[in-house]
Amino acid sequence: MRTQPIRPPLLSALAAGVATLLAPMLAAAQFTLAPLPYPADALEPHIDRTTMEIHHGRHHAAYVNNLNGQVKNFPDLANLSLEAMQGQISKFNTAVRNNGGGHYNHDLFWKLMAPAGQRGAPGEALAADIARTFGSLEDMKKRFDQAALGRFGSGWAWLIVTPDKKLAITSTPNQDNPLMDLPEITRGTPILGLDVWEHAYYLKYQNKRGEYATNWWNVVNWNEVTRRYDEAMK
């Protein structure tokens, strides 16, 4: 008499198949895509739901997946925080620079925006520093928008705290950011950043990057910018 398998063969085969599929995914999943901190339509009408869904669910997700794909080439990556990675990005290859930068930048970008009622205003010390450095908040925005519009092709505009604790406006190409230890980067701690890749605005604004940048100020999470400023000034 034949003995019965403990589990039907089909189920066993399925379980083995799922385990085989999941094992490398779990082992390689060093970096993860956090959910958006608010619903995808929370920034409407300034940033539309579809743009947010594609930007987060496809573009940001791709940076995370591609970065995880590099862990086998650079096992050290697994021991680094996303932020620490930026400060030693020169040790790695272009794929880590682009995708590690992309993951860091987008992770930050979502937090720098907030739904209505949760956006606040620049804190006292930050507001005073902006006035001292740029003349006024409006002047700072003007300078920032010039950096956003002046960035040819894809990249980011930034408000940073420099190593000598001064506010400055910079921009970077591609997915570079001010934390990266690269000679062409003006380094500092980013406290505000604007994604000016076309994928961030093209569905709603098409080629009108200036209109996107202007409207984006309406969704800036000043509570988070202030928190990051206070932290950087410590």
Total number of residues that touch Mn ion (CB under 5 A):
3
| Residue showing the smallest CB distance to Mn ion in the complex | 195
Nearer to Mn ion, 197 or 222 (CB): 197
Q: Which helix (H) or strand (E) holds 112?
A: none
The tokens of 188 are what? Answer: 């500092």
From the list 11-19, 76-84, 110-118, 194-202, the region that binds Mn ion by CB under 5 A is 194-202
- Residue 195 in the binding site for Mn ion (CB under 5 A): yes
From the list 20-28, 123-131, 199-207, 222-230, the region that binds Mn ion by CB under 5 A is 199-207
Nearer to Mn ion, 51 or 70 (CB): 51
Q: How far is the CB of 131 from Mn ion (least distance, A)?
A: 31
CA distance 149 to 210: 6
**Bridge partner list, 130:** none
Nearer to Mn ion, 106 or 228 (CB): 106
Q: What's the start-to-end Cα distance of the chain, in Å?
A: 77
The answer to whether 48 and 204 have CB atoms below 8 angstroms apart is yes
Nearer to Mn ion, 197 or 229 (CB): 197
The tokens of 150 are what? Answer: 């002046």
CA distance 35 to 25: 19
Nearer to Mn ion, 47 or 130 (CB): 47
Nearer to Mn ion, 112 or 200 (CB): 200
The answer to whether 140 and 133 have CB atoms below 8 angstroms apart is yes
The answer to whether 215 and 71 have CB atoms below 8 angstroms apart is no
From the list 73-81, 83-91, 172-180, 197-205, the region that binds Mn ion by CB under 5 A is 197-205
The answer to whether 163 and 228 have CB atoms below 8 angstroms apart is no
- Residue 197 in the binding site for Mn ion (CB under 5 A): yes
Q: What residues between 107 and 126 interact with Mn ion by CB under 5 A?
A: none
DSSP state of 59: I
Q: How far is the CB of 199 from Mn ion (least distance, A)?
A: 5
The tokens of 228 are what? Answer: 């990051």
Site residues (vs Mn ion, CB under 5 A): 195, 197, 200
